[in-house]
A and B are shown apart, each in its own frame.
Chain A
Amino acid sequence: MTIVPYRRSVGHNAAISAIGRRRTRDRQTAVMLAGPGILLLFILFILPAIAVFAIAATDWQLGAKSFSFVGLRNFELLWQDADFWHSMINTLAFVSVCVPVTVGLGLIVALLIEAESGFRAFYRAVHFLPFMATMAAAAIAWESLLHPTIGLLNQILRSFGVQDTNWLRDENTVLPVLGAIFVWKNLGYAMLLFLAGLKTIPSDLYDAAEVDGADGPLSRLATVTLPLLGPIAMFALVVVALRAFEVFDIIKVLTQGGPGKASEMLLYTLYVESFEYLRTGYGAAVSVVFLLIVIGLTLLQVFVLDKRVHYQ
């Protein structure tokens, strides 16, 4: 009888240490699986993000051997820099016009496509095609379209007796033209978001509306479709706005920010300051501003997305 508890406790201790060893092994497995990802996440995302803030606090110029900390000096410069403000205002104007237009047209196209069943897939594909285009190449196509002498646009206008315009070299037309190209590319994307949204509207809501007297297509639209698309429209506005803030390719290919600085926008300024003028510290400050805008919008999107989930 005295041996039994003794043997038991030995057995238990052995079990506990065996379990402990397995726990350790399981932990090692988790580290092995997650380790490379975590390490790369640090090297390629987290540390660079911290570095941007750090560089923004220096007067470092790319390639320079030495630099000194200047605190918020770069942000002060930014605040006083008329060119930066010009770029900022261009960006905001671009976003505030292009985004509602893109989303609005996307909504109209989506509603038209869903209104009847004929050729839905065809229309969807055609309207979405520009979004798939490699923008650098598509910009070259646009350039030929907008060319002052051989361009299709001027050829058409000429036949109505309108004088030639050099669309990309005229500071009054360059931003609207870039805006049009943005709408051209992203309209299909907004359309797709709305098409997905329309699929989620339960059809018995339409039946209910019909019973309640909303039987015309327009009154159905007003009573059921549009109110239910509200959250998706908010979502689309934010997503398209993010894309508008990130406009870069068409500026780089078509205008280089010109004429003058008439078509400079935030991301292009970031690129030029950082990689062409090599004013690294200053470029990093622009990056920080850009980052804050994008994070603000993304958090708004998360918020809107949350709301959308709550509605359902």
Chain B
Amino acid sequence: MASISLDGIGKSFGRTRVLKRISLDIRDGEFLTLVGPSGCGKSTLLRIIAGLELQDEGSVRIGDRAVDGLPPKARDVAMVFQSYALYPHMTVERNMAVPLVMRRLGALQRMPLVGRLAPGTERMRASIAADVRKVALALGIEPLLARKPGQLSGGQRQRVAVGRAMVRQPAVFLMDEPLSNLDAKLRVSMRAEIKELHAKLGVTFVYVTHDQAEAMTLSDRVDLMIDGELVQIAPPQVLYNDPDHVNVAAFVGSPSINLVQATALSEWLASAVRWAGDAGNLDGVTIGFRPERLSICNEGTAGSIAGRIRLVEHLGADRYVHIDIARTERPLIVRTHPHDGPDLAPGATIALQAEPKDMLVFDAAGRRLRKRPCDATEILIARSSA
């Protein structure tokens, strides 16, 4: 088991800076997810931890030793790849045995034919086979041991890849989008299995994905990366409710957050909400509303803003209502229960309400404004005072 500490990791490919001095501490036994849009540098960072890629600057520590000079095999990490990277010409059993064979047998013992004659080879091979079988049983892939990867389904290959990582009992598990080649249903069930695996093994997991649902459900902490920079590291709930940056707010959550230019809401903010800041200084300020934090009320309700229903989507448990309001290009999406509120039909005029504490305010650079101008004590909703 080991903690991981990254200190000022920088990496460029040609002229593009893929990683801009990333510093990050991952606790022993933690499940940390690196999430972000494709090309944000998350996979590169993972490969630098594994030693498959060399950083241009900065240092990686695993446990209590700096590993910058160590080749991948000496770092005590195992990795599961998006493509699974199983050796297609070997059986599942041999695939899983490789990391053990490479570690436990000497060069002579590994030789075909000759190796059999070397002392201790037979015993070693038997113990490797036993270890492989144990892991295969745990993962439910024992019946597949004699097959080759080409004869397996996507989900089975995924398990074999996890098994190959497990057999050598590494201090750190690195996973590079391990579920993204599976179909949606399988992805959900494998997600749960990985979570269980982490709980069972108790070692450090670093997990890369572009899928925020995986990030939110699996992790102790999520590290959102955009354009080679760490934007925010926090537990999933904090990331969702209390984002530091407009990009975090926009990336996390489905359907995604409604972002509206504050200028489009200036009248509403002035009349319905007591806007604490300088009302003339709304340029560039963006206000975000989570879809479930908006509520629909009848037109003319005090402290509301008028809108017109464009579209209603029924999803069974939920209903997404797309509402056009004045001076915005895209409709706002409101998530409601199917039986809540007035009858909703496209074309109907209704109104929207929101609690000031549910408004996430971001400045022109996208940074979250927590104190000014949207502080709960300074802003009172007109409805409550009226």
A: residues with CB less than 8 A from B are 8, 11-12, 14-16, 18-19, 21-23, 25
Contacts known (A22-B54, A23-B54); A12 close to B69, Cβ less than 8 A: no
Which residues of chain B are near A11, meaning CB under 8 Å? 7, 59, 66
Contacts known (A12-B7, A12-B8); A19 close to B55, Cβ less than 8 A: yes
Q: Which of B8, B60, B69 has the most CB of A within 10 A?
A: B69
Q: Cβ of B54 and Cβ of A19 under 8 Å apart?
A: yes
A–B Cβ pairs within 8 angstroms, 26 of them? A8-B7, A11-B7, A11-B66, A12-B7, A12-B8, A12-B57, A12-B58, A12-B59, A14-B66, A14-B68, A15-B55, A15-B58, A15-B59, A15-B60, A15-B68, A18-B66, A19-B54, A19-B55, A19-B68, A19-B69, A21-B69, A22-B54, A22-B68, A22-B69, A22-B71, A23-B54
Q: How far is the CA of A16 from the CA of B54 in the complex (A)?
A: 10
B15-72, CB < 8 A from A: 54-55, 57-60, 66, 68-71
* Nearest chain B CB to A173 CB, angstrom units: 56
Q: How far is the CA of A11 from the CA of B58 in the complex (A)?
A: 8
Q: Which of B55, B59, B60 has the most CB of A within 10 A?
A: B59
Which residues of chain A are near B69, meaning CB under 8 Å? 18-19, 21-22
Query: For chain A, what secondary structure do more than half of its interface residues adopt (helix, strand, loop), or is it mixed?
Result: helix
B: residues with CB less than 8 A from A are 7-8, 54-55, 57-60, 66, 68-71
The total of interchain contacts (Cβ-Cβ below 8 angstroms) comes to: 37
Which residues of chain A are near B70, meaning CB under 8 Å? 22
Q: How far is the CA of A40 from the CA of B54 in the complex (A)?
A: 32
* Nearest chain A CB to B18 CB, angstrom units: 16
Q: How far is the CA of A22 from the CA of B8 in the complex (A)?
A: 19
* Nearest chain B CB to A75 CB, angstrom units: 47
Closest CB pairs A-B (n = 3): A18-B69, A15-B59, A18-B68
Closest A residue by C-beta to B71: A22
Closest B residue by C-beta to A15: B59
Q: How far is the CA of A14 from the CA of B61 in the complex (A)?
A: 12
Q: How far is the CA of A8 from the CA of B57 in the complex (A)?
A: 12
Which residues of chain B are near A18, meaning CB under 8 Å? 66, 68-69
Which residues of chain B are near A14, meaning CB under 8 Å? 59, 66, 68
Q: Cβ of B57 and Cβ of A16 under 8 Å apart?
A: yes
Which residues of chain A are near B7, meaning CB under 8 Å? 8, 11-12, 15
Q: Which of A8, A19, A22, A23 has the most CB of B within 10 A?
A: A19
Q: Which of B57, B58, B68 has the most CB of A within 10 A?
A: B68
* Nearest chain A CB to B30 CB, angstrom units: 22
Q: How far is the CA of A22 from the CA of B69 in the complex (A)?
A: 6
* Nearest chain B CB to A223 CB, angstrom units: 42
* Nearest chain B CB to A241 CB, angstrom units: 40
Closest B residue by C-beta to A11: B59
Which residues of chain A are near B8, meaning CB under 8 Å? 8, 12
Closest B residue by C-beta to A17: B69
* Nearest chain B CB to A246 CB, angstrom units: 38
Closest B residue by C-beta to A20: B69
* Nearest chain A CB to B97 CB, angstrom units: 25
Q: How far is the CA of A8 from the CA of B54 in the complex (A)?
A: 19
**Can you add 7 more A-B contacts, CB < 8 Å, to A15-B66, A22-B68?**
A12-B57, A12-B58, A14-B68, A15-B68, A19-B68, A19-B69, A25-B71
